[in-house]
Amino acid sequence: MARRFMRFNRASVVCSVTMLAVLTAPSFAVDVAPICTPMGGEPLQSTSILSPISPPAREIHSLAALVVGVCAAIFIVVEGALLWAIIRYRRRAGDRGEPVQVFGSNPIELAWTVIPLVIVFVLALATVRTIKDVQRTEPPAGALTVDVIGHQWWWEYRIADEDGGPPVVTANELVVPVGRPVWLRLASADVIHSWWVPALNGKTDLVPGRFSNTWFEAEQPGTFLGQCAEYCGTQHANMLLRVRAVDDAQFESWRTAQAAPARDPASFAAGHSIFLRLACMNCHAIDGSSSGAFGPNLTHLMSRETIAAGMAPLNRDTLRAWLVDPQQLKPGCNMPSLQLTDPELDALVDYLSSLN
């Protein structure tokens, strides 16, 4: 009996020390290595929640730190008392019979009732305050309004024009000004998606038939990575997010360029003709040429850094490989292989490569 008790004590000590090591390890998040580096010179940020650069993300980080700190303190106190009791009251040689039994203690009963209530009350207040700051019902003053539409498996962005003009329409890569609030109005075109850039804000679901809102304010320039955080089909893991924050002058220059009409296709008439003759025009919009809305808008395709929602850097080689067989890069995607001949493929790549 004594041997079994001693084995139990040693096992309890090992278990307690292991749990303490796991709890205190820095395991909030794992940085994901970027697939594509930015071309604009801005630093590429990680997907860790420990690097907030926006007020909502900072609020979430502070709340998480508070909760983990409180839980760690509780764990240390409880495990410390457990270890002390195991060592202090372990069975010793010569012990006979049962130890003295103590039943009931009003001060202890009161303490372990009141203290948890106080802890829960404090955490509840902190949570309510964070939710109020993060989940706003009205856009912040001076916010840039962006409509976000989730598709299988890419993102559509429509950036409102404050002067009442048509919105700027782009895909997968959102460019925003540093130091200005951005108000996102989110919707889904098919299934449930979730917009999540950890450095900017928490997850916000896009539910078919419903509209949701979120906001952020990038406090420094850079390219911030994210991920669809709700399983939405076979390519869910490859529905990536990129938000590029630039200064006001760069943003206005980018928006002006995006609002300009598509390049005159006269120099690339053969490729333009192929685009209009095949199914391309039914799915993709190019201002002045087609109005398809099933796939990403291609009016200024080459102004983007990546293709296939962040899966590969956008250049002539990856564009050609994508047109040859999209399923090689993104299996299950809704774009078919058009079975083009080499001359047709070269002409179409020439035309699409001119759209900047």
Q: What's the CATH class of domain 265-353? A: mainly beta
Instruction: Show Cβ contacts of residue 117 under 8 Å, excluding neighbours closer than 6 positions.
Output: none
pLDDT at 133: 87
Q: Choose among 349, 242, 342, 258: nearest CA to 300.
A: 258
DSSP string, 83-130: HHHHHHT---TT--SPPPP----HHHHHHHHHHHHHHHHHHHHHHHHH
pLDDT in tens, 291-303: 777 888 888 998 9
Domain covering 144-259: architecture: Sandwich (2.60)
pLDDT at 3: 44
Instruction: Show Cβ contacts of residue 310 under 8 Å, excluding neighbours closer than 6 positions.
Output: 35, 36, 172, 173, 238, 240, 241, 242
Same CATH topology for 144-259 and 265-353: the answer is yes
Q: How far is Cα 251 from Cα 141, in angstroms, rounded to an integer?
A: 19
Q: How far is Cα 28 from Cα 65, in angstroms, rounded to an integer?
A: 10
* First vs last C-alpha separation in the chain: 80
H-only helix segments in 218-315:
248-259, 269-277, 280-283
Q: How far is Cα 156 from Cα 195, in angstroms, rounded to an integer?
A: 12
H or E stretch including 343?
helix 342-353
pLDDT at 124: 95
Domain chopping of the chain, boundaries: 144-259, 265-353
3-state secondary structure of 79: helix
pLDDT in 10s for each residue of the chain, 356 residues? 444 434 434 444 444 434 444 334 333 333 333 455 555 555 556 678 888 999 999 999 999 999 999 999 999 999 999 999 899 888 888 777 777 777 778 888 898 899 999 999 999 999 999 998 898 889 999 899 999 999 988 999 999 888 777 888 999 999 999 999 999 999 999 999 999 999 999 999 999 999 999 999 999 999 999 999 999 888 898 899 999 999 999 999 999 889 888 877 777 888 888 888 887 888 888 886 777 778 888 889 989 999 888 888 999 999 998 988 888 888 888 888 888 888 888 898 988 888 88
Six token digits for residue 54: 């926006």
In this structure, what are the phi and psi dihedrals at residue 260, rounded to the nearest 5 degrees? -70, 155
